[in-house]
Chains A and B, each alone.
Chain A
Amino acid sequence: MIRIDSVTKRYPDGTVAVDRLSLEIPDRSITVLVGPSGCGKTTTLRMINRMVEPSEGTILLDGKDITQQPVNTLRRSMGYVIQNAGLFQHRTIVDNIATVPRMLGWGKEKARARARELMERVGLDATLAKRYPYQLSGGQQQRVGVARALAADPPVLLMDEPFSAVDPVVRKGLQEELLRIQDELGKTIVFVTHDIDEAVKIGTMVAVMRTGGKLAQFAPPAELLSHPADEFVEDFLGADRGIRRLSFFPSAGLQLLTAPIVAIDSTAEQITARDTAGAPYLLVTDLEGRPLGWGEPDRLTAGDIRAEHLLSHGRPFVAGTDSLRAALDCAVLSPTGWAVAVDAEGRAAGVVSQQTIAEAIRSAHAEGRETDRAARATQVTKAVG
């Protein structure tokens, strides 16, 4: 565990970058430092590997003061990923990744073999091994940056705005890749970003910092969205935090209707039988059960249902896996106001109305409040005890 203990960073000109910051960074999880520019988040990160020395306070790594060991030994035990990757342009991709193992005295072949293994892990094609950084896209370069940081298998990974310089689509891919890698490797990751969406998406814990280097709130993302500590955090989270909070509610509890679903080869009787299902439209599927679109019951003629005549069903959500936010998004975008749920193979699992989703949201909120009350009660008991 990394423990930041009332650390202050004051520069000679009097500017205070970080002000009496205390933070406990849990092991094997992603802790995100987020805040506006000038809030000291990068300075905080750089104090962990001593790229910046604190003016006051101490930082403990597994209970030991980080100044107790030689600075380069400390840094080699922490992977370091920066914005724009910072690759060595005169070295090939495989040699870039092999840098730290080579510094640690590994043989060339062993280090390169390890580098190739990591290329695969971060989703880089093996054919890129002999290329130079300029031949790679920004997203690929950033993957190399992550692979290079992981090369010597350090327990800690420090990431300073690693995905800020790539376009939103690539960034989303990189974030998902990071979460997947984290699932496999379980590193202690400290991640700096100015993007609150990124923080909420990848963080196990999120530390919101405010200008002047003060900690505004340190909480898991769901709690941050439901209970912002003050106006600053609330503003920083943005206007649609209520909607974003839905990302943390599972769609598993939704009551899905299967009655309004008909296959494209249905007979007239089957269509009339389904008609009474309570939905104004029927969802037509292909022969494998994949949704094709919505049709009005009166206009569906048995034996002559054409996919091009149906109303688009929009992007379906995956029942159970996707969140209530995805389900609500489907329903809002659907021309019929009903969302389509599919299973992992893309077959229609059921349909659900906006009303049903709204009810699920209300009960999820109610449950959240119950949990909070229980948690607070425990705290009070502890305080009293």
Chain B
Amino acid sequence: MNVLNFINAFFSDSAHWKGYDGIPTRLGEHVGYSVLALAIAAAIGLPVGLLTGHTGRGGNALAFIATAGRALPSFGLLVLMFVIIGLGLLPVMIPLVVLAVPPILVTTYEAMRSVDPSPVDAARGMGMHESRILFQVELPVALPLILSGLRSAAIQIVSTATIAAYVSLGGLGRYIVDGLYQRNYEKVVGGATLVAVMALVTLGLFWALNRFVVSPGVRRSS
């Protein structure tokens, strides 16, 4: 099959494995953008989601922000930011973060809201501080759902980070953009394959993280 031939040709060409345009470099750049964007999105989405979910206030505002965020096209935002800010990492990070915040925010809020209220009542009744209730009673139970929000955000970031190449940055998008421009479909397919593999690896990482940080008491009862 054509596509498989392309993939084979791309990965067996030793020139693709070294230099500033080699797979390790581009993969490293892509991982770098993705991790940074996810970290920023989590730094915004997690605290807000945890707090609003714990208090139960601001759910409507969250839903509005999330819908608005989802309605913004990443590519359009990138071009807009590029026009306003110019070249650099920032115009790439903004659309990626805008893309990733809604799933993190909304699932974290929902995860906290769906925690059984009776252990929380029991904890409060035995004199536990609110912060301890949040982190030691609600969070451990909400964790699987919160992780699933982070996971979908991460996968969206990994696939969308390819747009960085449009504004002259690196990452796996380089192969796709350059390949299209050079009519080198081997390169396009190779780049796309790498993105797909990276998305699957991300899935695997979150699966492992879930096994590692979620209590067996929560994992099996839900």
Contacts and interface: CB of A to CB of B under 8 A. Distances in A.
Interface of A: 49, 51, 71-76, 79-80, 82-92, 99-100, 103, 132-134, 145, 148-149, 158
A89 B125 contact: no
A85 B122 CA distance: 8
B127 A134 contact: no
26 contacts: A49-B125, A73-B127, A74-B127, A75-B125, A75-B127, A79-B126, A80-B125, A83-B118, A85-B118, A86-B118, A86-B122, A87-B119, A88-B137, A90-B140, A90-B217, A91-B215, A99-B123, A99-B126, A100-B126, A103-B127, A132-B215, A133-B221, A134-B217, A134-B221, A148-B122, A149-B126
Interface string B151-181: 0000000000000000000000000000000
A82 B125 contact: yes
Interface of B: 116, 118-129, 132, 136-137, 140-141, 214-218, 220-221
Contact of B126 (A80, A84, A87, A134): A80
A159 to B, nearest CB: 11
Contacts of B118: 82-86
Contact of A89 (B121, B129, B141): B141
A89 B218 contact: yes
A191 B205 CA distance: 49
B217 A89 contact: yes
Contact of B119 (A88, A132, A134): A88
B217 A72 contact: no
B141 A132 contact: no
Contacts, number: 83
B211 to A, nearest CB: 14
B interface, by DSSP: helix, strand, loop or mixed?
A: helix
A75 B116 CA distance: 21
Name the residue in B132, B214, B216 with the highest tally of chain A Cβ atoms < 10 Å from its Cβ. Answer: B216
Given A87-B119, A88-B137, A76 B221 contact: no
A90 B125 contact: no
A134 B219 CA distance: 10
A interface, by DSSP: helix, strand, loop or mixed?
A: mixed
A145 B217 CA distance: 17
Name the residue in A71, A90, A145, A158 with the highest tally of chain B Cβ atoms < 10 Å from its Cβ. Answer: A90
Contacts of A92: 217
Name the residue in B125, B132, B220 with the highest tally of chain A Cβ atoms < 10 Å from its Cβ. Answer: B125
A87 B137 CA distance: 10
A51 B124 CA distance: 8
Contacts of A83: 118
Nearest to B218: A90
B128 A80 contact: no
Nearest to B118: A86
B126 A75 contact: yes
